[in-house]
Amino acid sequence: MKYYAAIDIGSNAVRLLIKRVNESEPRIDKRLSKVIMLRVPLRLGFDVFKNGKVSSGKVKKLVRLMKAYRQLLKIYEVSSYRACATSAMRDAANGAKIIDDITKETGIKVDLIDGEEEARIVYSNHMECMEDRRGNYLYVDVGGGSTEINFLVDGDLRFTGSYNIGTVRMLNDAVKVAVWEKLTKDLNELVVQSGSSSINIIGSGGNINKLFRLSKDSDKDRLRLPIESLCSLYQELSSLNLEERMSRYNLKPDRADVIVPAAKIFINISEIVKAEYIHVPVLGLADGIIDLLYQKDCLLGRETNG
């Protein structure tokens, strides 16, 4: 059995995903299945977006966590993995040093990826989950530090953008007006490109997955969350304080605060592109990383056999 892994060092949480390959599965998009997924809310972005760097205490915790993840990679005998750091580490004054420390202490090489690469990775396998790929779709991934968008027409990528608008940034009042304006401008241009055709959204990230599950009006069979339902849920969530959200919706503290700005970001985008729903496949950056690793191995295998 062959195993692949991805480590996502995000602004809100650090995730480890391990998947195994079932080579007997005829469909390539169905061959990978989840073995384990761990999520530890280190909340690096709260340090970075407020003070410009990751605190020494959180650096120590991050290194300890990566040591633990390294042991799991060994236990599962992972054949290939990739670790990626995103928005918070991009902005952190000590980000490069932290990455060096991780490599020295754990042997794990961490790639500091830019927003455009993050956007490409994060949408790489999601169209495989769509029954109907015809039409215009805006792939939107909302993280703690940034939002990535990809504009797809009949399954073909036409535009990629990354914006420093994220849930943790919003909670720290660290989103610049100019960035909102740039996102709005780009989205309006995509609307013009689409002509009279509608644009719907493919949503990614832990918050939209949770919002999808919380909404009573979600279409669970087609994995769709109507925008009208999202707006109603946002109004209810934003009217509650943190403790009330945790109690009423059974949310963890690190989800109860960021879920409100996440909903707001999705609503703002949906209003501009006039989306009717958000398609919510339960996949994220880590899934995209593993899919690309597997695709690379498959390509190398064909070249070797050829």
Q: CATH number, domain at 153? A: 3.30.420.150
C-alpha–C-alpha distance, residues 119 and 41, integer Å: 22
Whether 102 is in a domain gets the answer: yes
| Spatial distance between the Cα atoms of 124 and 10, rounded to a whole number of angstroms | 18
In a domain, 73, yes or no: yes
Question: Would you say residue 123 lies in a domain?
Answer: no
Residues with pLDDT less than 50, the chain: none
Please check whether residues 186 and 198 belong to one and the same domain: yes
Q: Are 48 and 33 in contact (CB under 8 A)?
A: no
Query: Do 47 and 133 belong to one domain?
Result: no
Amino acid at 257: D
Same domain assignment for residues 176 and 90: no
Question: What confidence score (pLDDT) does residue 129 get?
Answer: 52
Q: Does any domain span residue 121?
A: no
Q: What was the pLDDT predicted at 106?
A: 97
- Burial zone of 154 (CB within 10 Å; 0-12 exposed, 13-18 middle, 19+ buried): exposed
Query: Considering the domain boundaries, does residue 69 fall inside one?
Result: yes
Q: Are residues 301 and 277 in the same domain?
A: no
Report pLDDT for 132.
Answer: 54
Residues 291/17, Cβ–Cβ less than 8 Å: no
What is the CATH classification number for the domain harbouring 24?
A: 3.30.420.40
**Statement to judge: residues 90 and 182 lie in one domain:** no
**Would 122 be classed as within a structural domain?**
no
Helix (H/G/I), strand (E/B), else coil: 258: coil
CA 150 to chain centre: 13
168 and 291 together in one domain = no
List the structure tokens of 74.
């060994």
Number of domains in the chain: 2
Do 77 and 159 sit in the same domain of this protein?
no
**Are 28 and 57 contained in the same domain?**
yes
**pLDDT value at residue 302:** 60
| 273: nearest Cα among 209, 208, 187 | 187
**Do the domain assignments include residue 67?**
yes
Residues 136 and 98 in one domain: no
pLDDT at 115: 81
Q: Does 205 share its domain with 248?
A: yes
**What global pTM score does this model have?**
0.85
Give the C-alpha separation, 212 to 224, whole Å.
8
CA 88 distance to own-chain centroid: 13
Domain identity same for 179 and 271: yes
Whether residue 105 sits in one domain with residue 38:
yes
Q: Are 141 and 87 in contact (CB under 8 A)?
A: no
Q: Is residue 197 part of a domain?
A: yes
Range of the domain at 76: 3-115+286-305
